Amino acid sequence: MSVAVVGAAECDLGVTGLPVLTLQTQAITRALADAGLTPRDVDGLATNGIGRFATTQVAEYLDLDLAWSESTFVGGSAFEMYVARAVQAIEAGQCSVVVISYASNQRSARSRSLGAVAEPALPEAQFEAPHGPLYPASHYGMAAQRYVEVYGHDRTVLAAVAVAAREQALLNPAAYRYDAGPLTVDDVLDAAPVSDPLGVLDCCLVTDGGGAVVLTSLARARDLPRPPVVVLGYGEATTNVSTAGPDDLLATGAIASGRRAFGRAGLTPSDVDVVQVYDSFTITVLLSLEGLGFAAPGEAPGLIGELALNTSGGGLSYCHPGQFGVLLLVEAVRQLRGECGVRQVAGAQVALAHGTGGILSTHATVLLGVDR
């Protein structure tokens, strides 16, 4: 493909006390500065989660002149989908510089709730919400319970994912849990239960935060200050909106999404040096790694602590601002540029970012590589 990521940045993370448009502005202007560009260069914007008309909201605030905008709203995988759309728009000549951004102040604003979000006019309000699911935790809890039963595991394989995420966060000064010290399997098992077998330490953080990435043609990218990170492939899958919807909870949309992305890139999982998969919950990581082909069904626990995975500390220990997808991309780009200091994966050439949205509802995979 002929499109590259040329800029990447986070906004302030954690508990910021800042308005969401200020956080969006930080993410976008920092990513553009990283790219050696300004808001005047931007003619494409993809974002969501800020008012009903997210792209227009941000465009007016920053006085952007957009020839292309995109606001697919499908949870945390949207940002990996935006990469695909941005590549297509740039290759088609509709726009030349795309910013993909996201920010949330959910921690400061205390806007996160545990309950169902079913709208009264939709079927889930009639056929799911009356039974009292935690949304999204109960869906992941059921997937986790089935996972451990079907494959003969126990909760420790889930806990190990949280332990590994914390180990990475201790290497990342930007991580919410950077100073929190290591986590043990027993810490995770003993934490307050949420939706069995998931406890609170199996669940991602609730923080402010966000980030942005900037894409343009590879030809232009080679004239910009940062080493280009080339988009090698992308794929996505949309599976279910309800908990009863999927036929098999353990066969997620990561299977089709990953197959499409690897197929488009002409790569296989063995070609990937560093993996960023959405860790909304510990179970999400295991199911995603298996769906993407890094391990056979039931065998992803053997990769935890071995694979170069979620090097930022992930949604579990670094940052989770409601939708984590854009930060998967930011970390993947930084790893490929060799900017990650003590957590750098030596010589990383190919990175995978895999977003998941809703209740394993949507899946999108992006493969990125250094410019050869």
The residues carrying an active-site annotation are: 278, 318
Backbone φ/ψ region at 87: left (φ over 0), alpha (ψ -120 to 50), beta? alpha
Q: Which of 37, 46, 83, 249 binds another protein (CB under 8 A)?
A: 249
Query: Residue 280 CB, nearest distance to another protein (Å)?
Result: 15
Residue 37 near residue 224 (C-beta atoms within 8 A): yes
Does residue 253 bind another protein (CB under 8 A)? no
Annotate each residue in 318-347 with x if it binds another protein (CB under 8 A) or - if it does not, as one string: ------------------------------
DSSP 8-state assignment for residue 45: E
Does residue 126 bind another protein (CB under 8 A)? yes
Query: Residue 199 CB, nearest distance to another protein (Å)?
Result: 9
Tokens of 100: 């993909």
Annotate each residue in 183-202 with x if it binds another protein (CB under 8 A) or - if it does not, as one string: ---------xxxxxxx----
Does residue 149 bind another protein (CB under 8 A)? yes
Tokens of 372: 């050869």
Q: What is the DSSP pairing of strand 97-104 with strand 350-357?
A: unpaired
**Quick one: 119 or 223, whose CB is closer to another protein?**
119
Tokens of 305: 């602590």
**Quick one: 121 or 346, whose CB is closer to another protein?**
121
Does residue 15 bind another protein (CB under 8 A)? no
Does residue 123 bind another protein (CB under 8 A)? yes
Could you tell me the CA-to-CA distances from 299 to 122, 150, 153, 188, 287 in Å, in that order?
37, 12, 10, 21, 10
CA 323 distance to own-chain centroid: 7
Could you tell me the CA-to-CA distances from 283 to 53, 64, 179, 318, 360 in Å, in that order?
33, 40, 25, 17, 11
**What b/e readout covers 227-249, taking b as 16+ CB neighbours within 10 angstroms?**
bbbbbbbbbbbbbbbbbebbeeb
Does residue 129 bind another protein (CB under 8 A)? yes
Q: Which of 93, 132, 181, 347 binds another protein (CB under 8 A)?
A: 132
Query: Residue 127 CB, nearest distance to another protein (Å)?
Result: 4
For 210, phi then psi, to 5°, come to 160, -170
The piece of 28-36, 85-93, 159-167, 243-251 that touches another protein (CB under 8 A) is 243-251
Does residue 141 bind another protein (CB under 8 A)? yes
Let me know if 372 is exposed, middle or buried by CB neighbors in 10 A (0-12, 13-18, 19+): exposed
Query: Residue 320 CB, nearest distance to another protein (Å)?
Result: 18
Helix H or strand E segment including 125: helix 123-127
* 157/189 Cα distance (integer angstroms): 10
**Quick one: 74 or 142, whose CB is closer to another protein?**
142
Q: Which of 18, 21, 33, 125 binds another protein (CB under 8 A)?
A: 125
* 10/12 Cα distance (integer angstroms): 6
The piece of 28-36, 103-111, 126-134, 211-219 that touches another protein (CB under 8 A) is 126-134
Q: Which of 25, 71, 105, 138 binds another protein (CB under 8 A)?
A: 138
Does residue 308 bind another protein (CB under 8 A)? no
Q: Which residues of this protein are in contact with another protein, per CB under 8 A?
A: 113-116, 120-121, 123, 125-135, 138, 141-146, 149-150, 192-198, 242-245, 247, 249
